Structure formats: C-alpha cells, structure tokens
Amino acid sequence: MKYPTASDVEEMKARGYDPSVIAEQLELAKRGQVLQDLKLATIEAFAGVALANGIGLLQAQGLDDYADEKTCAAYREKDEKHDWRAIGLELLNRYYSSLSFFDEEGMRFHLPAFLMAAMDGTFGFDLSYTLAHTAFASDRFALLTPAQRQVVRGYLQFIEQEDEHALDRERIQAALAGYWAV
C-alpha cells in the first residue's frame, strides 16, 4: 500500500477535499511515517551484517530442490555474501521459499532484504508466516540482536493492523506475546 505524505494531505486540503477524506488520509500518513521509521531502523539494525558461513539465497533454493552438494556449492558461489541491500527484488520474489531453508546466519543476512521488500509492497509473498510461525523462530532467528528483534517486532505490529492480515492476526498476536516479546 502506498501511504500519503504530509505534503500530499496538504495538497488535498488546498484542493478542497472533504474533511472526512482528509482525516482518513492523515491517519494513513501517520502509518506511512511509522513504516518509514521502521525502514530506517531496519537499515541501521542490519548494517554491516554479512552472510559469513550461512546458507545463501540460491544455495537455499538448491536445498529446496534437493540439489546435490556440488550444485549447492555452485549456487553458493553465486550468492551475495556481503551486502543484503545488493540482493535484487527479482531474486527475492523468485526464491522466496529459501526463507524455509536458511540457517541462523542465512536468515540474519537475508531477513532485512525480505523485510524491506515487504515494507515497500514489492515482495509478492506473505512474510508473516515465516515471522509468526513459532516452529521457525527458535532456530532461524537465534542470532538476531535486540535491535534486529525490535525491527521484526515493529514489522509484525505494523502488519497486524492491516486488513490483509486479518486472518493472520491471532497468530501474529501470539508471536508478539511469545517469541517476539520484548
């Protein structure tokens, strides 16, 4: 969803939009600012995180495809290892199932790329299952720092309020009260 900015709302006021529409857009602009703050927090919290010995995006896809060790090693060579911001959106959307095959280092490295794509509305899949399903949490998120955990918590709090996550709301709330509790 694209959120209006404060200047968008001011322009609507100047054009004489109905006050109820203005009020609605002001609330959406506030949510948009929360999202922008969360994006900045993501960049800060995950700055300098490298893949190290973790499972890479293509390598994880190889694991998903039951590829042999040699093939997975070849995929690993092609994986981005140093800057999660360099991972292209096309790759994130094509290899979304890799989320289920990352180890702790792989998850810590790739998670901010997936989060940013989801917050930008360009990730074609639902990230809430990975984040709110407690079977994944204890293993895959073990290396996250408190600041990184807070980013995930903030993201879950944000999407919990979205209509498109109404069916996931109970699971998200349970994750927020459980594994992602502060």
Write out pLDDT tens, residues 111-128. Answer: 999 999 999 999 999 999
How far, CA to CA in Å, does 155 sit from each of 65, 96, 150? Answer: 30, 18, 9
- Quote the DSSP letter at residue 85: G
> What's this model's pTM, rounded to 2 decimal places?
0.92
Q: 101 falls in which pLDDT band (50, 70, 90)?
A: very high
The CA-to-CA distance between both ends of the chain, in Å, stands at 28
Cα 55 from Cα 142, distance rounded (Å):
15
Check residue 121 and give left, alpha or beta (phi > 0: left; psi -120 to 50: alpha): left
Separation between Cα atoms, residue 138 and residue 179, nearest integer Å: 8
- Asked if 92 and 108 touch (Cβ cutoff 8 Å), the reply is no
Query: For residue 112, what pLDDT is reported?
Result: 98
Cα dihedral sign for 122, 125, 126, 130?
negative
Q: Report the chain's mean pLDDT, rounded to a whole number.
A: 93
Taking residues 69-83, what's their average pLDDT?
97
Residue 95 burial class via C-beta count within 10 angstroms: exposed 0-12, middle 13-18, buried 19 and up? buried
